[in-house]
Amino acid sequence: MITTINITSLQNKYIKQVNLLKQKKERDKTKLFIAEGERLVNEIPQDWKIEYIILSENYLSDVNTQKICNILSKFPQIKAFTVSQKYFEKISDTVTPQGILAVCRQKIYNENKFINKKNPFFILLERISDPGNLGTLIRTADAAGADCVFLSKGCVDLYNSKVIRSSMGSIFHLPVVINSEFDVLIENLKSKNINILAAHLKGKKTLYDINLTNGIGILIGNEANGLSDEISEKSTELIKIPMPGNAESMNVSVAGSIFIYEAVRQRIK
Amino acid sequence: MITTINITSLQNKYIKQVNLLKQKKERDKTKLFIAEGERLVNEIPQDWKIEYIILSENYLSDVNTQKICNILSKFPQIKAFTVSQKYFEKISDTVTPQGILAVCRQKIYNENKFINKKNPFFILLERISDPGNLGTLIRTADAAGADCVFLSKGCVDLYNSKVIRSSMGSIFHLPVVINSEFDVLIENLKSKNINILAAHLKGKKTLYDINLTNGIGILIGNEANGLSDEISEKSTELIKIPMPGNAESMNVSVAGSIFIYEAVRQRIK
């Protein structure tokens, strides 16, 4: 049996909170974020802290009860609310809402915990501004088995709904450190013999000329402007992706993923 | 000196045509399409057939005259029209229009011309539905120096404005055959000893276990459903991308690009 509490007013405090959580300011203040959609909610691990779940009445009636029971049984103490389809559409951040969302607590990772890892595989993203690109890069890093993703100040908010969606749940699998001070981080990593390899059009060597099997941090910059000079100068080496064809650049999530996967190729051998 | 014709009515036939060209039906009928934005218009090669260019009055006054002269001098016979900023916003397909667009003729490539190429590097895209993914894959294929991209029936329209934009002009560099009958194409390619390698989660070998230096066609399927059974069965071999981490899948333009670039790595050696 599914026990839920029905909410019938848009003035209800949970409804109001979900609407407020669309703003970064509120997410920063409360350290909460929204995971919307069946697939994303399904990806939340059992040990992740969820505040509550909201279901639309249509979702509750349309789909297999078993599905909802499976989700709720992972989180036995969870508060589950139901709202009308109309209300769900008002709080949803998608064009065609599925009728399920979870309000989750952000996980705060301590940078120092990761940098002592032996032979690590890190991804450093500087000022990525498009949410789709950030989510896609986190998804690739997760597929690749990277140990941690570090985001510089100036990256789009990790908890932006489009980042969460395009990460396809990878945000729940893989540690992502936010607001990292890259000048400090890079010095720390280099002092532990971790090579910081900057994807850069001015690189002399290509990613196929270097050894990626030891401790590495792959450093990827902003869509329009690439890496800042300040940060690329701190890297161990600038590395280019060869472009034997006619295009002069690639999409940042593609370029980053090609680099990440060259490391996968070398490391799985 | 820049000679342009000023258009002052939304009923003008060119203005009406630009608005109609936002629809696939009209693009199919007229075999025209729109390239909007300074960067895209700049990428159009001199031998590409352009029907006319439309500039906003703001663009004409704001930017360096030299820039427009450079563009127009590539196409000496071109008709150039100016419209008010307000009108340009009405015909533009972007949120913040730059004030320049070109109406271009579609280039029709003959599939048979390409399949006889020696040791070719082909990309075959089946039913890609997201315009951003299609444009991004064409951009990667162009960077990689692929010989031709083939699109199956059921792919999003190549001349959709978002495909053109995310291709970043690569559509002007690299032949793209549309509406290809993949069952026939694949048989033809195989008869010429071109290996058709299907990116597939069920692949036994990984892309790092195979030789990509001979004639190849890399076959990539739809975002949500992957390749159709009918087409993947026709391929020479199913090939998977290893995912040592936790994600179960990757973005299709990322997965396709990783595959394309493994071929680049092997072929540039």
Confidence of residue B107 (pLDDT cuts 50, 70, 90): very high
Higher pLDDT, A76 or B130: B130
Output the DSSP codes for A94-131.
SSS--SEEEEEEPP---HHHHHT-SS-EEEEE-S---H
Q: Is B19 helix (H, G, I), strand (E, B) or coil?
A: helix
Q: What is the CA radius of gyration of chain B?
A: 21
CA distances from B78 to B19, B71, B81 (A): 20, 10, 10
A87 and A121 belong to one structural domain: no
Q: How confident is the model at residue B102 (pLDDT cuts 50, 70, 90)?
A: very high
Please indicate, yes or no, whether residues A169 and A227 belong to a single structural domain of this protein.
Answer: yes
Q: What count of CB pairs under 8 Å joins A to B?
A: 120
State the average pLDDT over residues A205-212. 97
Residues B8-63: tens digit of each pLDDT: 898 999 999 999 999 999 999 999 999 999 999 999 999 999 999 999 998 988 66
Distance CA A253, CA A137 (A): 6
| pLDDT for A76 beyond 90 | no
Q: Which of B40, B73, B105 lies at the terminal end of a domain, its last residue?
A: B105
DSSP H or E run through B152: strand B148-152
Instruction: Give B14→chain A minimum CA distance, Å.
Output: 31
> Which bin fits B137, alpha (ψ -120 to 50), beta or left (φ > 0)?
alpha
What's the pLDDT score for residue A269?
Answer: 80
Mean pLDDT confidence for A254-265: 98
Chain A residues whose C-beta is within 8 A of a chain B C-beta are: 132, 136, 139-146, 166, 168-170, 173-174, 208, 241-247, 249-251, 253-254, 257-258, 261-262, 264-265, 268-269
Percent of chain A with pLDDT over 70: 98
Strand partners, B15: none
Q: Which one, of B218, B246, B221, B223, lies nearest residue B231 by Cα?
A: B221
User: CA nearest B170 in A: which residue?
Assistant: A247
Chain B residues with CB under 8 Å of A223 CB are none
Same domain flag for B146 and B201 = yes
CA distance B113 to B115: 6
Predicted local confidence at residue B60, as pLDDT: 86
Q: Do A136 and A85 have their domain in common?
A: no
Q: Are residues B116 and B229 in the same domain?
A: yes
Find the mean pLDDT for residues A179-189.
97
The alpha carbon of residue B102 is apart from the nearest alpha carbon of chain A, in Å, by 20
Interface test with A, best of B258, B267, B269 (most A CBs within 10 A): B258
pLDDT for A49 equals 95
First CA to last CA across chain B, in angstroms?
A: 50
Torsion angle (degrees, nearest 10) of CA B36, B40, B45, B47: -10
Q: How confident is the model at residue A158 (pLDDT cuts 50, 70, 90)?
A: very high
Select from A145, A253, A262 the Cβ nearest to the Cβ of B244. Answer: A145
Interchain contact, A257 vs B262, CB within 8 Å: no
B247 with B217, same domain?
yes
Q: Domain boundary at B86, B105, B124, which?
A: B105
Q: What is the mean pLDDT of residues A79-105?
A: 94
CATH code of the domain in which A225 resides: 3.40.1280.10
Residue of B nearest to A174 (CA): B246
Q: What is the pTM assigned to this prediction?
A: 0.95
**Residue A80 three-state SS:** strand
Nearest to A245 among B146, B241, B253 (CB): B146
Chain A residues within 8 A of B146 when measuring between CB atoms: 245
C-alpha span between B254 and A68 (Å, rounded): 32
Q: Which domain holds residue B238?
A: 111-268
B164 with B131, same domain: the answer is yes
Average pLDDT over residues A196-215: 97
Q: What is the mean pLDDT of residues A240-251?
A: 96
One-letter amino acid for residue A52 of the chain: Y
Q: What is the predicted pLDDT for the residue at B64?
A: 66
How many angstroms separate the CA of residue A38 from the nearest CA in chain B?
15
**Comparing C-alpha atoms, which of B111, B244, B45 is closest to residue A174?**
B244
Q: What is the mean pLDDT of residues A139-144?
A: 98
Tell whether A115 and A199 lie within a shared domain. Answer: yes
Average the pLDDT over A251-268 and give the result.
98
Across chain B, what does the average pLDDT equal? Answer: 94
Is the Cβ–Cβ distance between B173 and B144 less than 8 Å?
Answer: no
Residue of B nearest to A45 (CA): B246
CA distance linking residue B102 with residue A142, whole number of Å = 41
**Of the candidates A217, A210, A206, A189, which has an alpha carbon nearest to the alpha carbon of residue A242?**
A206
> Side-chain half-sphere of A143: how many Cα atoms within 13 Å?
27
Give chain B positions within 8 Å (CB) of A243: 143-145
Q: Which residues of A146-160 are buried (b: 16+ CB within 10 A; e: fewer)?
A: bbbbbbbeebbbbbb
Q: Name which of B140, B169, B247 is nearest A250 (Cβ-Cβ).
A: B140
Report the amino acid identity of residue A55: L
Give me the amino acid identity at B122.
F
Nearest to B142 among A139, A146, A246 (CB): A246
Q: Is A222 helix (H, G, I), strand (E, B) or coil?
A: strand
The tally of domains found in chain A comes to: 2
Least confident of A41-45, A199-203, B57-61, B238-242: B57-61
Instruction: Label residue A220 by pLDDT band (50, 70, 90).
Output: very high
Structure tokens at A239: 């590395």
- The HSE-up count of residue A170 (CA atoms within 13 Å, CB side) is 31
Q: Which residue of A has its CA nearest to B171?
A: A247
For B147-182, how does the pLDDT look when each residue is reduced to its tens digit (9 = 90+)? 999 999 999 999 999 999 999 999 999 999 999 999
- Ranking A206-215, A234-243, B109-118, B259-268 by mean pLDDT, the lowest is B109-118
Query: What's at A71, amino acid-wise?
Result: I
Percent of chain B with pLDDT over 90: 84
Confidence band for A241, pLDDT divided at 50, 70 and 90: very high
Q: Which residue has the higher pLDDT, B253 or A68?
A: B253
- Residue B9: give its domain's CATH number: 3.30.1330.30
User: What is the structure's pLDDT at A64?
Assistant: 66
**Same domain, yes or no, for A119 and A94?**
no
Question: What count of Cα atoms within 13 Å lies in the side-chain half-sphere of residue A89?
Answer: 6
Confidence of residue A69 (pLDDT cuts 50, 70, 90): confident
Confidence check: pLDDT of B1 > 80: no
When pLDDT is cut at 50, 70 and 90, the band that residue A47 belongs to is very high
- Return the residue in A264, A267, A269 with the most chain B beta carbons within 10 A, the one to mutate for interface testing: A264
Contacts of B170 in chain A (CB under 8 A): 246-247
Whether B10 and B126 share a structural domain = no
From B105, B137, B157, the end of a domain falls on B105
Q: How far apart are CA B143 and CA B130, in angstroms?
A: 20
Q: Is the pLDDT of residue B212 over 90?
A: yes
Mean pLDDT of A13-22: 97
Q: Do B92 and B43 share a structural domain?
A: yes
Work out the pLDDT band at A37, boundaries 50, 70, 90.
very high
What does B66-127 look like in DSSP terms, one character per residue?
HHHHHHHHHSTT-EEEEE-HHHHHHH--SSS--SEEEEEEPPPP-HHHHHT-SS-EEEEE-S
Contact A221, A182 (CB under 8 A): no
Please, are residues A250 and B140 in contact by the beta-carbon 8 Å criterion? yes
Q: Are A149 and A132 within one domain? A: yes
CA distance A72 to chain B (A): 22
Can you tell me the ipTM of this complex?
0.94
Task: Single out the residue of A202, A262, A240, A198 nearest to residue B266, CA to CA.
Answer: A262
CB contact (8 A) between residue A254 and residue B250: no
